Structure 1
Amino acid sequence: MAPNLPFKLNNPELFRDKSYVDGQWVESTSGQRFDIVDPGNGKVFASCPTNTADDVDKTVNAAHAAFLKYRTLNPRKRAQLLYKWDALIRENVSDICQILTHETGKPLAESRGELDYSLGFTWWFAGEAERIRGTVATPAIDGRRVFTVKQPIGVAAALVPWNFPVAMILRKCGAAFAAGCSIVIKPSPETPLTVLALAALAEKAGFEGGVMNVLTTDLENTPGLSEALCRHEHVKKVSFTGSTRVGKLIAKICADGLKKVTLELGGNCPVLVFDDANLDQAADAISALKWRHAGQACITVNRIFVQKGVYEKFINIMLERAKKLKVGHGAKDDTTMGPVTTPRSIDKALSLVEDAKKNGSRILIGGNKLEIDGGYFFEPTVIADAKDDLMLAQEEQFAPIAAFFVFDTEEEAVERANNTSMGLASYFFTKNVDRTWRLLENLEAGMIGMNTGNQSAAESPFGGIKQSGYGKESGKDVAIDEYLITKTGTMTVEGL
């Protein structure tokens, strides 16, 4: 039963505060637990088991045993399981949103938006399960036929962040389950309850024990547990979403076992607003991107480049929208921007603002920590006349800071936009069709938003280039291929 939670659940069975291993709800071998804090007030409201590397072997072995059975399940039955899981999540959206809001701090409307977006993955991959295809070919040598078959790779490990826990789980699990893989999930210490609620519904949907497993742990034990997962002989695929620094470490560890890896890493995403843009269209799209989850999204706009002719006008339009934001606890009806999820995010935001001040930027609004009910709040901040050498231009902000940079020419804007080691997403706003095509080809990012803000969807391949990672999640064929191997057969046939 759920403890005395600060919110009411219509379905109390959704609250799970134990790890999920081989179809059982279990404590860790250490017997220790860690606290879950509501970032909207800084108060502890639940706890979860502190799993360590000692819990990995048993869990992965159970996942491997489940994989040997699950991989033989025909694609239609895998699709039916995914559809059932999808339906159960839809039935329990309001409860999941409550848990999500109290773990991440995001407003309930944003939590609902994440659920709506995330359910696209279960629906999409349920359809993809029956569309995995091999090939048949006639080779150059007479009397032979060459064919390929696609088979599930094995146990997958999913290492997921706290900013979009529902989306990360359904995107990774959707592809893995459709392909025929089992999975071990290590959720972020900030958001284990949301992930465990999804596991409870997967169990109810009929996924057998061991197909989906969740090991919770605290910040201190995250590196050791994650490394043990990556090194385990039965883990054949690792999918990580998080920082570039940690992604590089995971890539090094997985290289020892030549494991298949998908890395969706950090972003330093630029947006280019040209003189001929529809400024209201641009402001609406950029505002939605920038202030969503208090700026804590990998594909949010980090650097807002505006052409000189509309620079001041566009800043004023964005400024008016920012002033209308209502900051508060995510569960309050009138809140439009919640807290940042961790107190360390406030420290980083303060350092970014101070660096901008010292180097001549104008702080038009915000720039300070907000004292609201003990939560982790930071003012929506608008900074003008930002320079390319500022800290906020050189690294991922992950804070509610909108920084504006002025530019003259298209060539200059593209060069400056590309002047980063990251390459996750780029955006631009223009009504010039020739420029649109040039920017699509010249901007160095894995995803390009053209007169568009949020562009992520189940049917669209998601992933970056450069140091924003490699591999794709979601989309047609590419995402599910991350969980498959291709086996080639060559046959000599008499009489041909």
Structure 2
Amino acid sequence: MSFNFVPVNMADPRLPKTATRYRMFIDGQWTDGSAESTFVRNSPAHGIPVSEYPRGGKADVENAVSAARRAFDSGVWSRISGAERAAVLLKAANLIRENAEQLALVETLETGKSIQQSRGEVLGAAGCWEYAAGMARAIHGESFNNLGDSMLGLVTREPVGVVGVITPWNFPFFIASERYPFVLASGCTIVAKAAEITSGTTLMMAGLLKEAGLPDGAFNVVTGPGSVIGQALTEHPAVDMVSFTGSTAVGQSTIAASAANIKKLGLELGGKNPQVVFADADIDAALDGTLFGLLFNGGQCCVSGSRLIVERSIHAEFCERLLERAAKVKIGDPLNDETQVGAIIDERQYATIMRYIGLGRDEGGRLLTGGEALGEKPGLFIQPTIFDGVDADMSIFREEIFGPVLCVTPFDTYDEAIRIANDSCFGLAASVWTSNLDNAIRGFRDLKAGRLWVNTTISGGPELPVGGCKESGYGRETGTYGLDEYTEVKAVHIHLGKRAKWLAD
């Protein structure tokens, strides 16, 4: 089967002649900190150097945490009004929109995703900052005027304090923007650790926040290996909370590292997300959604619809039509405006995906299409790959692949569909495709996932929360729930009048 490959244009004038040299951002200043070496990031689509970062260490974490602690404890950000915080966040959102094309270009060069996707994510991120700005003015508590004449009860929400935010490489700017503005809206300060290979847009955001008027120390960025920087952040006694987005395995180590000071955690981890297609669904819509769920960001997406659970009566036809559509997807040069799917993030992830494809063959999956490289190196492209006849004993059914690999399993009854869908240690997201109201409502009630879609997939905005259950993590980002994550609830009892004595005179 042939695929629609868009050749990489190495003469594109947007490709940098030399790598952009970045510095860390600590206490309002650009610095190389303690770094004695740098890390060079090559474009996964073009194979050329595009970014260079200082390899920071524990000393830089210490300085960044100290700066965030001072900024928080001084009240320069934590104790100003919500209206003042909102003004800074709105200015930041405007600056994101003004610099959207440059942010999108850096995102594409570092991640390999299509420029059109990067543009959409940057503008979506601006929406997160705008929404969080409104939330900064909406933080509120409760009053209890039912405790009798001598007592008034209040419940207040206060910022947690210093928050370490550790973000992944697949959506560097967007996932960060589902966290940073909500952390800041609550009055907290931040030490940010982006993935080492995709730190460019996080550092650009630091500059935009300074321009927007954020006080020095309220937002700090340390670059370097996650095993050093992330570990130091999670263990640090002056960090009050850590928000981590990444693999379940690293999430487990984050929980262990946080135990020293019983640190509050927010974790969004792995997923193996089902797309359940009933025979009564709008088949064209379900086909398009299944393909989008498989190939969005090259399948390198924690909410990717990587398991297709399709009713047996339409199984054969659905798979046949899915293959026809997959051949039409434009894959290749991420700087080409027509490209829909770009490159795999790096050689290690490329090798992981190819290993799982091999496992799928070895374990008895029936390869319907794909399974091979696409284009020529140094570009890292993989054909859309679909396995049929996948059962729960296979690795490709159970384990997160994080690539353009779809596993197809047929079902006969509603109960069987839900059982197959829930047969996973993960619970991040799921989609249900049906025109039957009973199936839709029963489906989103019965499926074990933090985020559900009915007759769509991977859609939504900052109004609703995101997050998972089971081994996909805990806590919620975005929406009012996302703001709540970064606050502590305090109960206040106010005695009115003269208190009755416990010990008589």
TM range (shorter): over 0.9
Pair 371,452 (structure 1): closer, same or farther in 2 beyond 3 Å: closer
Which secondary structure state, in structure 2, belongs to the residue aligned with residue 131 of structure 1? coil
2:46 to 41, 62, 78: 41
1:93 shift after superposition: 0.7
1:484 to 482, 487, 491: 487
Q: Tell me the equivalent position of 2:22.
A: 17
Cα RMSD of the aligned pairs, angstroms, is 1.8
Native 8 Å contact 1:456 1:462 kept in 2 = no
**Structure 1 Cα separation of the partners of residues 330 and 285 of structure 2:** 22
Q: Tell me the equivalent position of 2:154.
A: 147
Q: Tell me the equivalent position of 2:266.
A: 262
2:389 is the alignment partner of 1:385: yes
**Structure 2 Cα separation of the partners of residues 131 and 335 of structure 1:** 41
What is the aligned-residue identity percentage?
33
| TM-superposition CA deviations, 1:353-401 (whole Å, max 9, x none) | 2222223322222101234241111111122222222211111111111
Native 8 Å contact 2:168 2:194 kept in 1 = yes
**Structure 2 Cα separation of the partners of residues 370 and 18 of structure 1:** 35
Q: Tell me the equivalent position of 2:496.
A: 493
1:30 shift after superposition: 2.9
| TM-superposition CA deviations, 1:160-182 (whole Å, max 9, x none) | 00101111221111111100111
- Of 467-476 and 353-362, deviating more is 353-362
Native 8 Å contact 1:6 1:45 kept in 2 = no
Q: Tell me the equivalent position of 1:161.
A: 168
**Structure 1 Cα separation of the partners of residues 477 and 232 of structure 2:** 24
Q: Tell me the equivalent position of 1:107.
A: 114
> Map of 1:51-450 to 2, 5 A cutoff?
51-68=56-73, 69-217=76-224, 221-450=225-454
Q: Tell me the equivalent position of 2:503.
A: none
Show structure 2 runs of 5+ residues with no match.
1-10, 500-505
Native 8 Å contact 1:179 1:480 kept in 2 = yes
| TM-superposition CA deviations, 1:131-161 (whole Å, max 9, x none) | 0001110344541111122111111000000
> What TM-score comes out, normalization by structure 2 length?
0.93
**Structure 1 Cα separation of the partners of residues 117 and 456 of structure 2:** 19
Pair 9,73 (structure 1): closer, same or farther in 2 beyond 3 Å: farther
Which secondary structure state, in structure 1, belongs to the residue aligned with residue 426 of structure 2? coil
Which secondary structure state, in structure 1, belongs to the residue aligned with residue 179 of structure 2? helix
- Of 384-393 and 306-315, deviating more is 384-393
- Of 221-230 and 59-68, deviating more is 221-230
| TM-superposition CA deviations, 1:204-239 (whole Å, max 9, x none) | 11112111111011xxx3212212111222210100
Native 8 Å contact 1:273 1:305 kept in 2 = yes
Which secondary structure state, in structure 1, belongs to the residue aligned with residue 330 of structure 2? coil
Which secondary structure state, in structure 2, belongs to the residue aligned with residue 379 of structure 1? coil
**Structure 2 Cα separation of the partners of residues 145 and 320 of structure 1:** 67
Pair 156,289 (structure 1): closer, same or farther in 2 beyond 3 Å: same
Which secondary structure state, in structure 2, belongs to the residue aligned with residue 397 of structure 1? coil
Native 8 Å contact 2:149 2:496 kept in 1 = no
**Structure 2 Cα separation of the partners of residues 37 and 473 of structure 1:** 31
- Of 455-464 and 84-93, deviating more is 455-464
- Of 130-139 and 258-267, deviating more is 130-139
Which secondary structure state, in structure 2, belongs to the residue aligned with residue 301 of structure 1? coil
- Of 253-262 and 459-468, deviating more is 253-262
Pair 399,48 (structure 1): closer, same or farther in 2 beyond 3 Å: same
| TM-superposition CA deviations, 1:93-123 (whole Å, max 9, x none) | 1111100000000001111121122222101
Native 8 Å contact 1:16 1:200 kept in 2 = no
1:28 shift after superposition: 2.9
> What TM-score comes out, normalization by structure 1 length?
0.94
**Structure 1 Cα separation of the partners of residues 400 and 459 of structure 2:** 19
**Structure 2 Cα separation of the partners of residues 178 and 7 of structure 1:** 39
Q: Tell me the equivalent position of 2:3.
A: none
1:277 shift after superposition: 0.6
Q: Which amino acid aligns with 2:268?
A: E
Pair 30,116 (structure 1): closer, same or farther in 2 beyond 3 Å: closer
Native 8 Å contact 1:16 1:196 kept in 2 = no
Which secondary structure state, in structure 2, belongs to the residue aligned with residue 194 of structure 1? helix
| TM-superposition CA deviations, 1:262-298 (whole Å, max 9, x none) | 0000001011101111111111222222111110000
**Structure 1 Cα separation of the partners of residues 96 and 217 of structure 2:** 20
Q: Which amino acid aligns with 1:60?
A: V
Q: Which amino acid aligns with 1:53?
A: K
Which secondary structure state, in structure 1, belongs to the residue aligned with residue 310 of structure 2? strand
